[in-house]
């Protein structure tokens, strides 16, 4: 048995079984368990996960899934985990060196909805903090390189869009953007920067955005429309 961490799906436990004739996926608390036939090699796992990704994502569609001590939530800038300890009386968090640790008391009931809300709110606070720091820095950097004017960068908790740009050249980003890959994050930023020149989605806008991106802008846009990940489904309200 061994553990594998996938950027989108989170923690995966691979459990070989001599009686297994096919790969069986089950949800176990905050992670996925794959029961595989004996002789299954770890180097096959990335290909198998890509083939099963749509099905595996559906294992985590319910919002009532729990964040537990076994949960590993990957974001762009940090990995979030829980730590149960008798050294704290109240829930506390520490964000350091790319790791967000949420310390919960020994008697903290993780199956309680209020407890889950507290834990998720702490992760959201960290997302907001990191979004303000990283997205602002990236936006300023791209704007300078492209010689574009941006008057302000703001962070919100929108789940309806990744970003927006006003006529006053104020760019807003959802802190959930921090759950995306770097390529997707950069695309969202460049998309909003293009709106400082073209406020609509005309062909002129897409031509401009294509000139900013290394890849086809519309293709990246399509990949974001139905974006799903374990962390996103867990944390969105």
Sorted by where each starts, the structural domains of the chain and their CATH numbers stand as 2-58 (no CATH), 73-128 (no CATH), 130-235 (3.30.2010.10)
Lateral strand order in the sheet of 92-96: 73-74, 79-85, 99-105, 92-96
pLDDT tens-place string over residues 31-64: 889 999 999 999 999 999 999 988 887 776 544 4
pLDDT tens-place string over residues 95-151: 999 999 999 999 999 988 899 999 999 999 999 999 999 999 999 999 999 999 999
Closest by alpha carbon to 175, among 74, 82, 66, 75? 75
């Amino acid at each position: 048995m061994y553990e594998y961490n996938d950027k989108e799906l989170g923690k995966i436990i691979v459990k070989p079984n001599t009686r297994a004739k096919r790969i069986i996926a089950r949800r176990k608390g905050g992670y996925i368990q794959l029961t595989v036939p004996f002789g299954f090699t770890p180097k096959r796992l990335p290909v198998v996960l890509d083939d099963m990704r749509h099905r595996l994502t559906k294992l985590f569609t319910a919002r009532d899934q729990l964040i537990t001590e076994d949960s590993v939530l990957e974001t762009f800038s940090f990995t979030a985990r829980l730590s149960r300890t008798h050294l704290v009386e109240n829930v506390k968090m520490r964000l350091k060196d790319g790791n967000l640790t949420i310390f919960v008391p020994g008697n903290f009931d993780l199956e309680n909805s209020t407890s889950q809300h507290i834990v998720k709110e702490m992760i959201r606070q960290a997302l907001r903090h990191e979004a303000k720091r990283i997205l602002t820095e990236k936006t300023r950097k791209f704007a300078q390189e492209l010689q574009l004017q941006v008057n302000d960068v703001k962070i919100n908790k929108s789940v309806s869009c990744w970003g927006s740009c006003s006529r006053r050249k104020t760019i807003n980003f959802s802190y959930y953007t921090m759950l995306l890959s770097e390529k997707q994050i950069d695309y969202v930023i460049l998309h909003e920067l293009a709106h400082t020149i073209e406020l609509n989605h005309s062909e002129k806008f897409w031509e401009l955005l294509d000139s900013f991106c290394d890849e086809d802008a519309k293709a990246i846009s399509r990949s974001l429309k139905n974006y799903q990940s374990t962390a996103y489904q867990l944390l969105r309200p």
